[in-house]
Amino acid sequence: MKSKTEIQNGIIKAVNAVRENNPMAGSITNTITINFVANAQLAVGGSAAMVYLPDEAEFLAKAGGAFYINVGGILPIYEQTLPLTAQVLHENQIPWVLDPVAIGIGEIRTKFLLQSKEFKPSIIRGNASEIIALAGLWELEGENKSNVRGVDSTDPVAAAKAAAVALAKWTGGAVAVSGETDLVTDGAVIAYSRGGSDLMKKITGSGCSLGGVAAVYAAEADPFTAALTATAIYNFAGRAAAQKAKGPGSFQVQFLDELHNVSAEDVANNPFEIEEV
């Protein structure tokens, strides 16, 4: 198992590499938070582009260093775009992040989330309920029962530990579970990352944009490091922004500023613990 210092060095490298190389991570993501996803990706030093159509997604998937698929706000064309894109990413071994938001609702989403099992997303990001539900849908983990309510989680992060490990083992990548304390695992190690703010629940897109930022880091680092770096920078920036904010409006503003300004060392030093699975 990697030491905490080795992991921290990986985080520092990831933060700096993104700022230096400005990697492109394309996205298919919901329109509710699409602007915030792009702005968060830009704030950490990445480049953003969002598409809807199959041919554009295929082009963008091949052109970027990583890709982000968020299944919120499904449009009819996604029935074609999503599986094609995931297949292209998988075949070309391009790292991609899956956010299974709203899992359990709607035919196109369910069908794609089933298909995506074979396309092995490098990083899966969701709240506890979503992670449990995805492990259930993929028949990797049958013990827990998920409680999804729209986009909100009604399960604690700890309840998703077995599901997260099972998903990570299946994909060979990483899984990030968002909650009070965040859990990031590659199936062998679990990191618990702390920080953030209750105000993150009072703005839309903190979860979606975390997935987009994880994709940016996945262009420059292995899935576990990328997922943990994204989680850590969110926890640092969320806590720091909340100290300066007077409500959800100013929190958003401060949060983007913090994503942009935080030092790589501060991201690496954001509190986390590790344990072996």
Binding residues for substrate: 50, 205
Lookup: tokens for 208: 């979606």
To a copy of itself, the closest distance from the beta carbon of 182 in angstroms equals 20
Of the two residues 102 and 230, which places its CB atom closer to a copy of itself in the complex?
Answer: 102
To a copy of itself, the closest distance from the beta carbon of 90 in angstroms equals 21
Q: Which residues bind a copy of itself (CB under 8 A)?
A: 24, 26, 30-36, 38-39, 42-43, 47-53, 55-56, 59-60, 63-64, 73-77, 102, 105-109, 149-152, 201-205, 245-250, 252-261
Torsion angle in degrees (nearest 10) through CA of 14, 19, 24, 27 = 70
SS3 per residue for 235-275: HHHHHHHHHHCCCHHHHHHHHHHHHHHCCHHHHHCCCEEEE
To a copy of itself, the closest distance from the beta carbon of 181 in angstroms equals 21
Strands 96-99 and 272-276: unpaired
Of the two residues 11 and 43, which places its CB atom closer to a copy of itself in the complex?
Answer: 43
To a copy of itself, the closest distance from the beta carbon of 8 in angstroms equals 24
Please report, in range form, the residues annotated as the binding site: 50, 125, 178, 205
CA–CA gap between residue 277 and residue 83 (Å, rounded): 31
CA–CA gap between residue 50 and residue 28 (Å, rounded): 6
Of the two residues 4 and 111, which places its CB atom closer to a copy of itself in the complex?
Answer: 111
DSSP class of 100: -
Of the two residues 93 and 149, which places its CB atom closer to a copy of itself in the complex?
Answer: 149
